[in-house]
Amino acid sequence: YIMYLGFPIMFTVLMGSYFIDVIFNVDDPWNPGNPKGISIVLLFWGFTAAVFILLNRWLVSRPLYRNVPEGAEVPIDTLPGGEDDMILQVGDIWTGGDLDGDDGSGKDRVLVAELA
């Protein structure tokens, strides 16, 4: 629930309090040349959002490796998103197709991880 309720509520409260503070305490807050105004924040978050939106299409096409502890005896398909064929367990080989121009065999795509 924290992803769907907590973060949006915290973001709204923090950004709302920032904008209220800037509007009431900064002279000419809407002037794009004012370094203490709202424009610099909107420009930053607009640029950040654009980068995330553009990278999202690239990242969605990549496999995700889940780290399931050895001996857990939990099939990966019971975990959230586990029924997706692009969700793999650490050590599995991606054979779903072309990634960055490789031949699709997944020969060099084995992810080895060590639990701390």
Q: What is the pLDDT of residues 7-61, one digit of tens each?
A: 889 999 998 998 899 989 988 888 888 888 888 888 888 999 999 888 887 777 6
Two tokens at 116? 């701390």
Two tokens at 55? 């990278």
CA 38/CA 103 separation, integer angstroms: 49
CA 66/CA 55 separation, integer angstroms: 21
Average pLDDT of the segment spanning 76-103: 63
CA 114/CA 87 separation, integer angstroms: 18
Of the candidates 42, 8, 10, 7, the residue with the CA atom closest to the CA atom of residue 23: 42
How confident is the model at residue 48, as a pLDDT? 94
Q: Alpha helix (H) ranges present in the chain?
A: 7-25, 39-60
Two tokens at 77? 């398909």
Start-to-end C-alpha separation, the chain: 27
Residue 3 or 15, more confident: 15
Q: What's the pTM value of the predicted model, to 2 decimals?
A: 0.46
> Taking 70 as the threshold, does the pLDDT of residue 92 lie above it?
no
